[in-house]
Structure 1
Amino acid sequence: MAHSLTLEQFSGMLGNLYQGPLEPTPWQSFLSQLNQFLDSKYVTFILRPPSDDSDGLMVNTNGSSAEVVASYNRYYFNLDPFVGLPNGKVVTLEEFVSQQDWLNSEFYKNFMEPTGVFHILGADITTHDGAQCRIRVSRGLEAPAFTDDDKALLAHFVPHLERSVALHTQINRIETERNLYAGAVDQFAVGTIILDENGKILQTNQVADRLIKEKDGLKLSGDNLQVGTPRDCQEFRRLVKQALQSQRGEQPSVVEAMRVQRPSGRADLGIIVRSVPLSEWNEGKHCPSVVIFVSDPEQESSAPQEIVKALFDLTPAEAQLAMLLANGLTLDEASEALGISRNTARAHLRSTFSKTGVTRQTMLVRLILRSVATLG
């Protein structure tokens, strides 16, 4: 028999339900509480039901092994009779499948009975954007069947679970897009450093991490970024302060640029400092406030030769030569690196000009560096 929930208990469970999308294992806290209040053996939440094309995503309060999850995904989901429930409605197994059919089913005999499951309470949910999920609450054969009170308790949370799943889906979509754009910036070999409202570092990308690790023009002092010479550092702090003031005053985004000397004598780093526009409802601390873009003139293009070859219909030799030229080598240096004669290199270059429609080496380099090849 389920325990009656006090307002405080209900509020706590509801809070964990909406916190669920941010947990390392989504909804683990809420499912564990539900498991306790319904006196069940375990609670299973399937965020994406398995299909013939893909595995499902399953969270289980008893920590089912990967083997059990894989077994269900690959075979038993096709045999599960307790699926296709009325959307958003809580039902018991007894209401959906006769006891005789349940006991005689291969799914029960080979999958449920070995895990000690007999009674099941559940609901299927399809969100407005098409996400499908299932929640299943299980008890053993020796336990009492689920009651109307148990159904009512779970039903209180179903609408909230639907909203929480919608939030989870949106967060995942935003995170996927963020990772995609961040990866594109990495491929362009541009360092990105995001500062908060106090000028402290919030986040860096791989290119920025490499430059900071080298300590050649960029370095960390605590959570603060230091650049170049003392004079460079003073100018950099001024630009960051100006960008922060612009953001706090809700003024148009400020964009400033500077060059930073490197102790090694290598080519100066190029730095862009700009304020990050706040959304209308943005509040709180540790918000992205300033973004720093860093370019390293000595960073070679990382465009894959196979992609350059496919984009411009080049031969492997022509693509190799084009990439060396794009990375700053002269024709003589490129021919030496490839172990070919200068005449052969010139022949490859003429053929490349013909295929790409350019007439000068500088135009070829610009064409490659501005193409989508660098995103490969």
Structure 2
Amino acid sequence: MSEVYAAAPTDNVSPKSDATMLMDLVGLVYATINEPQPWSSLATGLQQHLGAKAVSITLYHSPELSHDIQVMACEPGDQVDWLEVERNYREHFAHLDALHPNQVKPGQVVTLSTPVVTSECADYFARFGIYGSLRTCFNDPTSQMRCWVDIVRGNTHATHAALDIYTRELLEILAPHLSRALSLYAKLQQHKMHQDIYAMGLDHLALGCLMLDGQAHILCANQTAKDMLRPDVSLSIVDQRLLAQDTQVQHELNQAIDNAIQLHATPQHSDEMRLLRVPLSDGMLLGLLIMPAPWLAHYQGQHVPQVIMYVVSLGDTRNSQAAAQSTHASAAVARLFGLTPQEGKLALLLATGSSINEAAEHLGVAISAARNYSKNIYAKLNLRGQNDLIRLISKSFALLRS
């Protein structure tokens, strides 16, 4: 962090007069939206620069919660239990309109001091060395997000008028930048949510997916891919690379990845893709589809995704009778297609390749009873026979996995 944050400003100083400090703080507004706790470093920078007792950035306020979702930076040696302070405040003083965050309009800076609260509330805060604060609100109209910054004053700054003027001016300068950064943050979070949903969808379908850069380093992999590519089988992820125990498999894998990287280098590359069949040491079989990632003209660099790899287990239970042993799957078939529980079990057995005799034995019923069940299934679903049933159920596997 810059040395500029080491001391609070003195009298007759404006934020604009220290361009380096101001640029550092503005930079933190944008640079720290991707922190695990967004704007945590900004809160620290403000607290150190202003010498405040604490700086909190509230990301979400709701009366339904016991406390706000926020990041906070406190002065060294701070012993205040801020969650307990807020809990007591909500219990005893939440009715005070002056302290309600929604009273502050976006871009507005307000001073919360003893005159605007009851003496009982002021005494309560004074017990913790809190003697008021300056608050501003910043928002993103598109996502309807509203956030707040509170600069909490300690007793050493309780009557420091010049510092209040300086802090107010600084917050007014930062306010539009905070709103723009909040808009970027909201879009990033939306994209992250989309990514998480798509990753969950691939996991649901038992489809592994990896993205590799131009050096064949793995940039990301969904959970299914991680589960399939384990150290105890013959193909695994080691130091962000795919490592095969079999030298021939490794050679074929490297060739396929290199080919995809070369194709990605040309904007008008072909849609060529390569399929690999990889036997694992545990007896399972993997299928790999390796292809170049889409080429984006305005997104280039060393670690841009250049290769997409899809991984499926060719020994998946969907392709064997074991799928029919899943109570969840057979119940889902019954619900999805309006069948009885017994018909659902039979439909799943027939769809995974069992003969009517094998299905009857598995269900513990007579062959004649199984035939009657199958006739009911075909009539309810308007199907001609087992082949049609297989096609119908196979289209529905995405909804049937447990």
Smaller-chain TM-score bracket? 0.7 to 0.9
- What's the CA shift string for 1:204-257, capped at 9, x where partnerless? 222222221175563346543245854444333322222111111212353423
* SS at 1:81 equivalent: helix
Structure 2 Cα separation of the partners of residues 351 and 227 of structure 1 = 49
- What's the CA shift string for 1:154-174, capped at 9, x where partnerless? 222111111221121111111
Structure 2 Cα separation of the partners of residues 228 and 194 of structure 1 = 21
Letter in 2 for 1:91: V
1:18: which partner in 2? 30
Flag structure 1 segments of 5+ consecutive residues without an equivalent.
Answer: none
Is structure 2 residue 329 aligned with structure 1 residue 314?
Answer: no
* SS at 2:175 equivalent: helix
What is the correspondence of 1:88-237 to structure 2 with a 5 Å cutoff?
88-94=107-113, 99-104=114-119, 108=122, 112-129=125-142, 130-141=144-155, 143-145=157-159, 147-213=164-230, 216=233, 218-220=235-237, 222-226=239-243, 230-237=247-254
Flag structure 2 segments of 5+ consecutive residues without an equivalent.
Answer: 1-7, 75-79
Structure 2 Cα separation of the partners of residues 341 and 73 of structure 1 = 68
Is structure 2 residue 267 aligned with structure 1 residue 250?
Answer: yes
* SS at 1:242 equivalent: helix
Structure 2 Cα separation of the partners of residues 368 and 325 of structure 1 = 10
- Cα separation, partners in 2 of 1:259 and 1:277, compared to 1, 3 Å: closer
TM-score, normalised on structure 1?
Answer: 0.84
- Taking only the aligned residue pairs, the percentage that are identical comes to 25
Is structure 2 residue 316 aligned with structure 1 residue 299?
Answer: yes
Q: CA RMSD in A?
A: 3.3
Letter in 2 for 1:26: P
2:399: which partner in 1? 373
- What's the CA shift string for 1:282-303, capped at 9, x where partnerless? 1322221101112222212489
Task: Give 1:43 shift.
Answer: 1.1
- What's the CA shift string for 1:51-84, capped at 9, x where partnerless? 4489742212249565556666788655452332
Is contact 1:88-1:124 (8 Å) kept? yes
Task: Give 1:187 shift.
Answer: 1.1
Query: Which of residues 373, 376, 382 in structure 2 aligns to 1:357?
Result: 382
Structure 2 Cα separation of the partners of residues 142 and 70 of structure 1 = 25
- Cα separation, partners in 2 of 1:101 and 1:66, compared to 1, 3 Å: closer
- Cα separation, partners in 2 of 1:144 and 1:279, compared to 1, 3 Å: same
Is contact 1:16-1:29 (8 Å) kept? yes
Structure 1 Cα separation of the partners of residues 369 and 381 of structure 2 = 18
Structure 2 Cα separation of the partners of residues 103 and 30 of structure 1 = 31
- Cα separation, partners in 2 of 1:125 and 1:78, compared to 1, 3 Å: farther
Count of residue correspondences: 370
Query: Which of residues 26, 32, 47 in structure 1 aligns to 2:59?
Result: 47
Task: Give 1:137 shift.
Answer: 1.1
- What's the CA shift string for 1:127-179, capped at 9, x where partnerless? 12111111111113553345222200122211111122112111111111001
Structure 1 Cα separation of the partners of residues 239 and 59 of structure 2 = 41
- Cα separation, partners in 2 of 1:272 and 1:341, compared to 1, 3 Å: same
Letter in 2 for 1:308: V
Structure 1 Cα separation of the partners of residues 86 and 372 of structure 2 = 59
